[in-house]
Amino acid sequence: MAEPTIPILDATHVTKRFAFGEETITALSDATLSIAKGEFICLIGPSGCGKSTLLRMVAGFEAPSEGRLLMWGKPIGAPGPDRGMVFQDYGLFPWLTVTENIAFGPLARGRPKSEAAKTAARFVETVGLTRFAEAYPHQLSGGMKQRVAIARVLANDAEVVLMDEPFGALDAFTRERLQEELLEIWARTKLTVIFVTHAIEEAILLADRVVVMSTGPGRIVADERVELPRPRDPTEPAFNALRRRLSAMLGGHH
């Protein structure tokens, strides 16, 4: 069957307002963004520029105040297993083992126990945690917990993975390793990833496209395609030239 040519995600003039008592705050203004299946998109921008708001709308946790937000051409009306969210604090169930955490989604969706167990085992292996399959979250490092969180989303048949600063709380070494692992998982699974980060270098390392956002109210001010071959080297002149360009864009829009 031919791949559909419509984008997996399509935002057209999306605005989001929140009411705070008597006041109305515009968190995101007139955002237009089209994402093809399998693309890795990074959203960067200062705090309060609407990055997380856009992510939450794609997840279905919030509805746009204006504009249109579509997945495969259909309006996003609610959360669904086709879109999985990975948070900075992992969100694992402390009373479940690694395997049980990963099997939770398929079981909740009514899959037979044997099928859920097979799915969980497959994704435990995908994220390299076979030795820790029966461990509990408190026995894992931050990096391992984040891998379980990613595996849990994958086990739910997600087509789109939404990541809100997932490596923000990790040390530099673990963060670097997980960036590499995430790119490997992404290359293998052909997932579509939308990844929010404050770090320009992280965005350039990971993304096909870097979407730059500005505050007051949150707007998309640039959409830069990263043409550098992977794996990317932060010491290369082309990498640094792009970093300077993105930095200047952010600086001009604080």
pLDDT above 50 (res 254)? no
Residues 203-227 have pLDDT tens digits of: 999 999 999 999 878 999 999 999 9
Q: Give, in order, the Cα–Cα distances in Å from 233 to each of 79, 170, 202, 244.
A: 37, 21, 11, 15
Q: Is there a single domain that holds both residue 140 and residue 64?
A: no
174 within a domain of the structure (yes/no): no
Q: What is the pLDDT of residue 2?
A: 52
Give the rounded percent of residues in the chain with a pLDDT score beyond 70. 97
Distance of alpha carbon 169 from alpha carbon 150, whole angstroms: 16
78 within a domain of the structure (yes/no): yes
Distance of alpha carbon 217 from alpha carbon 17, whole angstroms: 10
Of 124, 143, 158, which residue is a domain's last? 158
List, in sequence order, every beta strand (DSSP E) within 45-88. 66-71, 74-75, 83-86
Q: Is there a single domain that holds both residue 135 and residue 191?
A: no
Q: What is the pLDDT of residue 4?
A: 52
pLDDT above 80 (res 253)? no
Beta bridge partners of 210: 42, 224
Q: Give the angle subtended at the CA of 159 by the CAs of 90 and 124, to the nearest 5°.
A: 50
For residue 19, what is the domain's CATH number? 3.40.50.300
CB 126 within 8 A of CB 151: yes
Q: What is the pLDDT of residue 201?
A: 95
Pick the closest to residue 193 from 174, 180, 208, 178 (CA basis): 208
167 within a domain of the structure (yes/no): no
Residues 8-56 have pLDDT tens digits of: 999 999 999 999 889 999 999 999 999 999 999 999 999 888 999 999 9
Domain containing 110: what range?
A: 84-158
Contacts of 52 (CB under 8 A, 6+ apart): 164, 196
Residues 53-107 have pLDDT tens digits of: 999 999 999 999 999 999 999 999 999 989 999 887 778 999 999 999 999 999 9
168 within a domain of the structure (yes/no): no
Residues 181-206 have pLDDT tens digits of: 889 888 888 899 999 998 999 999 99
Number of domains, the chain? 2
Distance of alpha carbon 122 from alpha carbon 151, whole angstroms: 9
Neighbours of 139 (CB within 10 A): 12
Distance of alpha carbon 41 from alpha carbon 173, whole angstroms: 23
* pTM of the complete model: 0.90
